[in-house]
Structure 1
Amino acid sequence: MSLELTETVQGVVNGLSSDFSEDLIEVYNSCDHTYIRVEAENIKEILNYLKSKHHFIFLCDIIGTDRYTSDERFEVIYNIMNLRTQDRIFVKIRVEEEDPAVDSVTSVWKAAGWMEREVYDMYGVRFEGHPDLRRIYMPEDYEYYPLRKEFPLLGIPGSIELPNTTPDTE
């Protein structure tokens, strides 16, 4: 595995290798970015470690993906940045389709609240310990998750009331 990492990112990988060796699954580069996949069980501790020990203080985004596989179907990706060095890493975890849940990181970054709500609303991944986990785009009683791969491209007829698109003629 030949990786070209900056000194800061190499320090992160070395630190994770020694402090979280049981949780570190893989490290790879793609499109000039570093991806670190870890076990989901300790994501809050790992991200807190990266923030406090390696100065990755800026949470840019939390992204959900549907891998549409029978094993570890959903992926949650934390896009974090060290503002001193301008280094960016993506920390990835995977959760199962059956009862997809992971710990909330709102105690590490308050900004995670909105981002976790978006992932929950679109994919159905629950964030345990979130202070206000509710839908952000879809109605609260909506039964579906629109960014899951099995969701029909044209939506589910009758599942949500749509506005009238016929112009008023007066």
Structure 2
Amino acid sequence: MSQEAKPAPVMATDPWEDPLASQLSSAFTLAILKLESFHGQPFVQVESGAFFRVVAFLKEQGFDYLVDLTAVDWPKVELRFEILAILYSFADNRRVRIKMSLADGAAAQSLTPLYAAADWLEREVFDMFGIHFAGHPNLKRILLPEDWHRFPLRKEQSIVGMDQDWVQRHLGIESGQ
């Protein structure tokens, strides 16, 4: 008897309605795809071309700390990568998340001109997913060796056996996977 895969649960969100959401909506009318809140945590989903401008706008509004920048791989979706930045305002003790979707092979604009912390965060996303950041000052691997051939958090293949030849060449062993 085969089991069918269950669909992923859908996140129950509420509309994000406050002065900041209104400012974003007014400033980026065509670029805003969603303004929602999940358990009181606001997020804005934007067109990929507006990601940098929205983050810059939020920095001007007092979101002075880049908490995290990461990605998610949705391999069965046309715009398979989701880039997520989390910003924090110390003055207001408030977080906001900015999301965008990106096609495989497309580059995101680097946030390093806005936040120095973006340097290592973008390098990690590049190292794990192979996503490029246009304008990054030193986009190279940060966790894996430079001669590693794949990106471990991409879901197109199993991590088991990934880069067996590197392990054999450098460690002289067969992978323990």
TM-score (norm 2): 0.82
CA distance in 2, matches of 1:119, 1:112: 10
Matched, 1:88 2:88: no
CA distance in 2, matches of 1:118, 1:20: 29
CA distance in 1, matches of 2:81, 2:163: 26
Matched, 1:34 2:39: no
Tell me if the contact between 1:145 and 1:151 (Cα under 8 Å) persists in the aligned partners.
Answer: no
1:43 to 44, 51, 54: 51
Report the aligned-residue RMSD: 1.9
Matched, 1:19 2:31: no
Deviations 1:122-147 (A, max 9, x none): 01110000000001111222221100
Q: Which runs of 5+ in 2 are unaligned?
A: 1-12
Among the aligned pairs, what percent are the same residue?
29
Equivalent residue pairs, number: 159
Alignment correspondent of 2:115? 109
Distance apart, 1:80 and its partner CA: 0.5
Tell me if the contact between 2:72 and 2:81 (Cα under 8 Å) persists in the aligned partners.
Answer: yes
Alignment correspondent of 1:168? none
Q: How does 1:107-146 map to 2 (within 5 A)?
A: 107-146=113-152
Alignment correspondent of 2:8? none
What amino acid maps onto 2:84 in structure 1?
I
Alignment correspondent of 1:3? 15
TM-score (norm 1): 0.85
